[in-house]
Amino acid sequence: MALLSWLEQTALAQYVQENPVGYPLVLTAHAVGMAVLAGIVLMINFRILGFARNAPLHYFRSLLKLALLGFILNVVSGAMLFIADASTHATNVAFLIKIGLLIVGGVLLIPISQRMALAAASGDAALESDNTRQIAAASVLVWIGVIVAGRLIAYVG
């Protein structure tokens, strides 16, 4: 596709491809962002699923803001990794699965953060519902999938 090869020739893509420091630097930022984002999301879901019930949800809401920072870091670093090799990534099965799961994981965070806000206003018990727990369980599985698929991009065609 013309767009993909154009992306590969932008100055930013050339930097990531050719600068010996560029690629490892962006990859490292992506790993740190992943740890912050997926790590926090996982722990919030564990809390919603009933782990450490006496830890107030208010605390986890402040952590969710930090997770958002990890997400922004990874959108930026991920976009840089993508454009460095856009045409290969665009047809890579693991990459496509990762992006699909990422969208699902992001969408699932909307009700999670809404319900946490509700719980902050009306008490932690507001989060005690089967439906919320199902969303949290789905979120855990989806984010595990994002990471596994992401790790496999380098190995599948």
Partner 1 sequence: MQTFLTWLGQSWLAALVNDSSWMFPTLEALHFLGLILLMGSLIVVDLRLLGVGAEAPMDAVARFIPWSMLGFVINLVTGALFFASDPDAYYFNTAFRLKMLAIALAGLNLIWFKLSVHPLIAAGSGARIELPPSAAVIGGASLLLWISVIVFGRLIPYLP
Minimum gap (Å) between residue 13 Cβ and partner 1: 19
75 Cβ contact list (under 8 Å, min separation 6): none
From residue 91, alpha-carbon distances to 37, 42, 87, 112, 149 in Å are 26, 29, 7, 32, 14
Interacting positions 65-84 with partner 1 (CB under 8 A):
66
Site membership for partner 1, residue 151 (CB under 8 A): yes
Site membership for partner 1, residue 59 (CB under 8 A): yes
Size of the site for partner 1 (CB under 8 A): 35
Site membership for partner 1, residue 141 (CB under 8 A): no
Q: How far apart are CA 150 and CA 144, in angstroms?
A: 10
Site membership for partner 1, residue 100 (CB under 8 A): no
Q: How far apart are CA 132 and CA 49, in angstroms?
A: 8
Among 14, 17, 49, 63, binds partner 1 (CB under 8 A): 63
Nearer to partner 1, 4 or 144 (CB): 144
83 Cβ contact list (under 8 Å, min separation 6): 7, 8, 10, 12, 13, 16
**85 phi, psi to nearest 5 deg:** -150, 55
Interacting positions 25-54 with partner 1 (CB under 8 A):
27-28, 31-32, 34-36, 38-43, 46, 51-52, 54
Q: How far apart are CA 40 and CA 32, in angstroms?
A: 12
Nearer to partner 1, 16 or 38 (CB): 38
**9 phi, psi to nearest 5 deg:** -100, 0
Give residues in contact with partner 1 (CB under 8 A). 23-24, 27-28, 31-32, 34-36, 38-43, 46, 51-52, 54-56, 58-60, 62-63, 66, 144, 147-148, 150-152, 154-155
